């Protein structure tokens, strides 16, 4: 059993999608970051950085924090959605790191300055929107030649989709990025993605 500590954010949805895709049993535990629950001592023992998500694998007593690390752990545990051969494996990890280092931070900053900042700062909004659209372009070019980011469907797609799916919230459009839009619609149609995005029970 996987104990998943999470909340309704793009990062929080990633492991739920993967767990649904690989049909691993799991139990959701709500960590309401809007109420500061990520700072309570019990959760800090799971992630010293006080960020969701985190998991406990009750079969192995292994704890994992950071969404990318969780995806790698679960993919390796099940032998699914992350190749074992070096070349295809590193390609998946490249695009997973692309999400972790670029898509998440840049989209997150755009969302903060556009939707949450107490005062509108035009420079910040323009900076992060420009970078978000640049990243859209990078992915669109990659997807022009491949069905999924690293060729076959993988944890790289699972990690990236919740962020791209938030484009309406970010007030940016996919209209100029047809391959990215096609990819988004493909993932949106997957039942496991739908269930993971819903985070039913939270």
Clarify whether residues 71 and 167 are in a common domain.
no
What's the average model confidence in pLDDT over 174-187?
Answer: 98
What's the average model confidence in pLDDT over 4-24?
Answer: 98
Question: In this structure, what CATH number is given to the domain that contains residue 60?
Answer: 3.40.30.10
Q: Which helix (H) or strand (E) holds 30?
A: strand 26-30
Query: Does the predicted model carry a pTM greater than 0.95?
Result: yes
Clarify whether residues 162 and 103 are in a common domain.
yes
Q: Encode pLDDT of 34-86 as tens digits.
A: 999 999 999 999 999 999 999 999 999 999 999 999 999 999 999 999 999 99
Range of the domain at 159: 86-190
Clarify whether residues 71 and 148 are in a common domain.
no
Instruction: Give yes or no for residue 200 having a pLDDT over 90.
Output: no
Question: In this structure, what CATH number is given to the domain that contains residue 136?
Answer: 1.20.1050.10
């Amino acid at each position: 059993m996987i104990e998943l500590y999470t909340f309704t954010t793009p990062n929080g949805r990633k492991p739920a999608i993967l767990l649904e895709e690989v049909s691993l049993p799991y139990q959701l535990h709500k960590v309401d970051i809007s109420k500061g629950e990520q700072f309570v001592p019990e959760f800090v023992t799971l992630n010293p950085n006080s960020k969701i998500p985190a998991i406990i694998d009750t079969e192995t007593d292994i704890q994992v924090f950071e969404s990318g690390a969780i995806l790698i752990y679960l993919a390796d545990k099940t032998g699914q959605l992350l190749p074992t051969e070096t070349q295809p494996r590193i390609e998946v990890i490249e695009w997973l790191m692309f999400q972790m280092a670029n898509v998440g931070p840049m989209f997150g900053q755009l969302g903060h300055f556009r939707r949450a900042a107490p005062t509108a700062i035009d420079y910040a909004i323009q900076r992060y929107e420009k970078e978000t659209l640049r990243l859209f372009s990078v992915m669109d070019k990659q997807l022009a030649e491949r069905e999924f980011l690293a060729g076959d469907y993988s944890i790289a797609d699972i990690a990236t989709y919740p962020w791209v799916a938030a484009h309406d919230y970010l007030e940016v459009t996919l209209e100029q990025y047809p391959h990215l839009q096609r990819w988004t619609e493909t993932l949106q149609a997957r039942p496991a993605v739908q269930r993971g995005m819903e985070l039913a029970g939270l």
